[in-house]
Amino acid sequence: MPELRFEMPSNLPELAECLAGAGDDTRLLGGGTDLLLQLPALRFQGTTLIDLSGMRELSEMRFEKDVLEIGANVTYARIAQDPFIRSRIPCLAAMAARIGSPQIRNCACLPGNLVNASPGGDAIGTILALDARVRLLNGAGAIRECAIDELVLGIGKTSLSRNEAIIGVRIPIPASPWNAYGKIGLTPRREVIIANVSLTMVFEITEPDRRIRAARMVLGSTSPRAHRVSSAEALCVDQVPSSELAREVAEALKRDVAGTIGANPAFQHKLNDVRGLALDLFHELFALEL
């Protein structure tokens, strides 16, 4: 019977060496919350596990000029609780705080969400809205960066090569904290919610007139992969946040979802969900009467 192989690199050169010999049966073990779900199917016969938990450099968050780099081993709990992230990138903190349960957040990390490439993956939409880039190491020891929409290609599909591993995510720090995240699940529970609709809004706003200079809006769980909604973004440029603008944006997002789901009766509830979510986020950010 084929045996399980277990490798535990302690630094990037050792990880590259492990990746150089990676095959179709190789699995990377980070937080483990996604991999453990595959246990019944894998049975680990002939599987090679590369355990990243011993790599301290991947457990760090670094601030370099205007960029935050989050290592592959940083948990969602740390992201959600970090004071700087909560104050400057609240959409990222809010997304991390809504992942699974406290037990899951204490183990799970960003790469698992990204490589699973699920339409309901919470992190994918927020990473896209923040214009972040993913850092990848290959078996030759080379590091490359790619945008999230270059990494996630569709449901369960990524551009990752078998000999590559995500080692971090680099996020440009927004100039101001005008950003928010929200999601609506299929159940009224507050914990362990799989997103029925998720929305991340990131605004660049000039002071003191509070005029919107640029906007990025990303929908998740409404199409095979998270995507920006340019029609809603364009409505915001050179506008001052208002109740009327919020309603126009909500309708634009609703039209985008309608174009994706068509007449499928199983998904019609997403139309009102996304409209309500958009109004909620506008109210959260700008304290508007809606």
Nearest to 254 by CA among 225, 290, 217, 286: 217
As a whole number of angstroms, the distance between CA 187 and CA 58 comes to 35
What are the tens digits of pLDDT across the range 46-62? 678 889 989 999 999 99
pLDDT of res. 48: 84
Q: Are strands 179-185 and 195-206 parallel, antiparallel or unpaired?
A: antiparallel
pLDDT at 186 over 80: no
Radius of gyration over every alpha carbon of the chain, rounded to an integer in angstroms: 20
Split at pLDDT 50, 70, 90, the class of 189 is low
Q: Are strands 143-147 and 195-206 parallel, antiparallel or unpaired?
A: unpaired
As a whole number of angstroms, the distance between CA 220 and CA 126 comes to 9
Task: Yes or no: say if 154 and 225 are a contact pair by the CB < 8 Å rule.
Answer: yes
pLDDT at 194 over 90: no
How large a percentage of the chain has pLDDT more than 90?
71
What are the tens digits of pLDDT across the range 215-271? 999 999 999 999 999 999 999 999 999 999 999 999 999 999 999 988 888 889 899
pLDDT at 44 over 60: no
Task: Yes or no: say if 220 and 195 are a contact pair by the CB < 8 Å rule.
Answer: yes
The full DSSP string for 174-195 is PSS--EEEEEEESSS-SSSPPE
